[in-house]
A and B are shown apart, each in its own frame.
Chain A
């Protein structure tokens, strides 16, 4: 699994002390959990996720995947960004193919079809990205991440640009995929209800310098009732942890 060991990340700032986006963060992912990362804006959530993905490197400390130091992106770790980031010049199917270019053609097609199936986008396989709704585009992005069959799926506020109905539907969908998939999810969110409904653990971060403030374990069995007392209680607990 993924181990974050004393990871710090500083960004140089013109004329002044560097920004300490992450300050000696330790974190160990568990097999097949959903971990939510919450915290105020600028506290380093995206920075941490980018380091976990291999897109960015820590200034000090290290990230190890199954004991090996992570030195860049790997097929075992998938990423869904806040925006779908589809190539506008490729139809949905070809966008997803980008994630499996290293496979033989027959396997590509087979896996793409399966991924489209899983996110319910079979009918839109040949569509241009410009023709997709926000929710569909984000599903396509999800399919592109899943088609590589990662063991860890990182998501940076993947639902934040969606209307609440689409958001809820997609949350349930991700939960369903996760339930069948066996992968681990790290989800950055600023929506405490999203964290309370989806997560096994919630890491509450505080910024300046970016540190892990508290880790909240959630034992509430799934499926959880969004309006139920337990979800509301966890939301309150998270809110207190964020502000207190």
Chain B
């Protein structure tokens, strides 16, 4: 899955402003190239894929041409199945995410703030973390059955650890110097939490949320591959059973798109609270616009 990247806080580029800046034709070309560059490799790959398919390099029953994948998506969409499967998978990720984040936040705050809680809980949690998460599957199925509960529990476990660790470490590392500013100004505990501790830990927390979400997507695939009657993972298994590779690839692309969109949503929402950050992204932006 995706690695945790720094949050990109750049404001949307104003097209007219950018073009106005480009005073010469070559500058326009440079600008176009810069915008188009990320799409070059995918476009080449798709063209090569189609061309090789037509040349008969791939067995059509194993590697369908891009057109067939598009057809599969369109057909699913027309049946209304697309929305349903995506919605089911999204629902599972969302439920697992909420539970995982809730547990991680409570425990992360406790172990971050209190040395006693840390001594008491952290070693156990670290030990649990050492269990490869998919190894829980048989136990969860035994405990919670093969339906939603076991899937959501598995996803929640995946989401839990990055959020928990990031939060605990961020709270422990809270800037003592800023806490002193709060003390010298007579801030109440509540005001200190609100104006100093929460904003200070937010960047690390958001990084944890993104890492957790990425793992949530990874685990929903595992959960759905193990047995489901709906969802994108089910589509993949269904495609495999019925020999429809276009369906598998279509589901794969849908995973990529929905996963990326949820991450983008998280980044956009979090970005509103992190505009103050002196991150590389923002300073680059400022200097290039100077």
Contact = CB atoms under 8 A, between A and B. Distances in A.
A55 B183 CA distance: 8
A99 B191 CA distance: 11
Given A81-B177, A85-B178, A73 B184 contact: yes
Size bracket, chain A contacts: 20 to 34
A55 B180 contact: yes
B276 A98 contact: no
Size bracket, chain B contacts: 20 to 34
Contacts of A101: 185-187, 191
Contact of A83 (B177, B185, B196): B177
A107 interface: no
B82 to A, nearest CB: 41
The DSSP consensus for interface residues of chain A is loop
Contacts, number: 57
A78 B200 CA distance: 24
Contacts of A148: 185
A130 interface: yes
A112 to B, nearest CB: 13
Contacts of B186: 73-75, 101-102
B177 A85 contact: yes
A238 interface: no
Interface in A99-121: 99, 101-102
Contacts of B202: 89
A149 interface: no
B149 to A, nearest CB: 39
Q: Give the 10 A-B CB pairs with smallest separation, nearest first.
A: A89-B199, A130-B278, A89-B276, A99-B185, A73-B184, A85-B181, A79-B184, A128-B276, A88-B276, A85-B177
12 contacts: A73-B184, A81-B180, A83-B177, A87-B178, A88-B277, A89-B276, A90-B276, A98-B185, A128-B275, A130-B278, A144-B185, A148-B185
